[in-house]
């Protein structure tokens, strides 16, 4: 790195466009994800957060630049992008419900030396449940399986889509804690609607509206700007009860 220049981001997206069923769902999206920490991808329902993640790894038709660790990958097929070091934790978890926890994890191992010890340390509860069918786990436990699957491999970045969706507050806190630990080992692009979790975890924020980027910057600065969060997310962070520590 030349002195005085910003470090190269782990992921650079430029002019990303994507279509689903003839409708443009991602429009001229550009942002970067730094090599460390958690970057939040925010926006109301249906603005194109999941589509952006899918477009990055080529799961939906797209055009534009996708640069991973300085290498252009947008012409590569999905499996090559994934193999070059992208861990994807999809919305709604997607574990194999009729397989055990151990089988789910074993199927996810891609590297010659999967990081089983890290996963065992991060997810002691899963270790205790290794023989249990994944479909009989709670939502939070399934989310842990999904995260563990991505963390078994050495990745350049994780793309994690709404990991706390539909979980009880206590479990949300556990998932957030696990993400914080995971982020010490790999940068994460995190789609998250729970702003308390964003506040706890994210350094940077990218906000989408109508398939376009409408704001990028420091996550806390964004969350502390009540007018901006109200306008772009339709929520007031000033009055959110969990922000004030009030009973739910």
| Contact positions vs ligand ATP (CB under 6 A) | 20-21, 25, 43, 45-51, 91
Size of the residue set binding Mg ion (CB under 5 A)? 2
> In terms of CB distance, is 193 or 230 closer to ligand ATP?
193
* In the complex, minimum distance from the CB of residue 239 to ligand ATP, in angstroms, rounded to a whole number: 22
Question: Would you state the structure tokens that stand for residue 56, as one six-digit string?
Answer: 């990055």
* In the complex, minimum distance from the CB of residue 210 to ligand ATP, in angstroms, rounded to a whole number: 9
Q: Does 50 bind Mg ion (CB under 5 A)?
A: yes
Question: Which residue in 57, 55, 52, 51 sits closest to 78, CA to CA?
Answer: 57
Among Mg ion, ligand ATP, none, residue 5 binds (CB under 5-8 Å by kind): none
CA-to-CA separations, 118 to 57, 111, 161, 199, in angstroms, rounded: 25, 14, 22, 25
Question: Which residue in 71, 70, 74 sits closest to 62, CA to CA?
Answer: 74
Among Mg ion, ligand ATP, none, residue 142 binds (CB under 5-8 Å by kind): none
> In terms of CB distance, is 91 or 243 closer to ligand ATP?
91
DSSP designation for 244: H
* In the complex, minimum distance from the CB of residue 72 to ligand ATP, in angstroms, rounded to a whole number: 23
> In terms of CB distance, is 176 or 191 closer to ligand ATP?
191
> In terms of CB distance, is 90 or 114 closer to Mg ion?
90
Inter-helix orientation angle 169-182/139-151, to 10°: 10
Among ligand ATP, Mg ion, none, residue 51 binds (CB under 5-8 Å by kind): ligand ATP
* In the complex, minimum distance from the CB of residue 48 to ligand ATP, in angstroms, rounded to a whole number: 4
Among Mg ion, ligand ATP, none, residue 21 binds (CB under 5-8 Å by kind): ligand ATP
Among ligand ATP, Mg ion, none, residue 47 binds (CB under 5-8 Å by kind): ligand ATP
> In terms of CB distance, is 44 or 156 closer to Mg ion?
44
Among ligand ATP, Mg ion, none, residue 186 binds (CB under 5-8 Å by kind): none
Tell me the window of 44-52, 60-68, 79-87, 209-217 that interacts with Mg ion (CB under 5 A): 44-52
Question: Would you state the structure tokens that stand for residue 67, as one six-digit string?
Answer: 């640069």
DSSP designation for 100: B
Q: What residues make contact with Mg ion under the rule CB under 5 A?
A: 49-50
């Amino acid at each position: 790195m030349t002195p005085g220049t910003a470090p190269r981001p782990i992921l650079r997206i430029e002019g990303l466009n994507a279509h689903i069923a003839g409708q443009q769902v991602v429009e001229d999206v550009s942002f970067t994800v730094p090599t460390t920490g958690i970057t939040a991808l925010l926006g109301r329902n249906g603005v194109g957060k999941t589509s952006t993640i899918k477009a990055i790894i080529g799961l939906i038709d797209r055009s534009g630049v996708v640069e991973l660790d300085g290498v252009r990958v947008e012409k590569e097929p999905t499996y090559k992008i994934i193999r070059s070091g992208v861990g994807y934790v999809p919305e709604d978890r997607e574990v194999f419900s009729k397989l055990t926890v151990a089988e789910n994890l074993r199927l996810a191992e891609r590297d010659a030396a999967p990081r089983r010890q890290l996963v065992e340390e991060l997810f002691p509860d899963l270790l205790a449940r290794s023989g249990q069918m994944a479909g009989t786990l709670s939502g939070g436990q399934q989310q842990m399986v999904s995260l563990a699957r991505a963390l078994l491999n050495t990745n350049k970045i994780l793309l994690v889509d709404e990991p706390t969706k539909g979980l009880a507050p206590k479990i949300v806190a556990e998932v957030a804690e696990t993400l914080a630990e995971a982020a010490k080992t790999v940068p994460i692009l995190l789609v998250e609607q729970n702003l308390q979790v964003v506040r706890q975890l994210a350094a940077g924020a990218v906000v989408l509206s109508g398939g376009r980027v409408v704001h990028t910057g420091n996550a806390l600065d964004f969350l502390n700007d009540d007018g901006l969060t109200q306008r772009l997310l339709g929520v007031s962070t000033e009055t959110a009860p969990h922000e004030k520590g009030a009973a739910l």
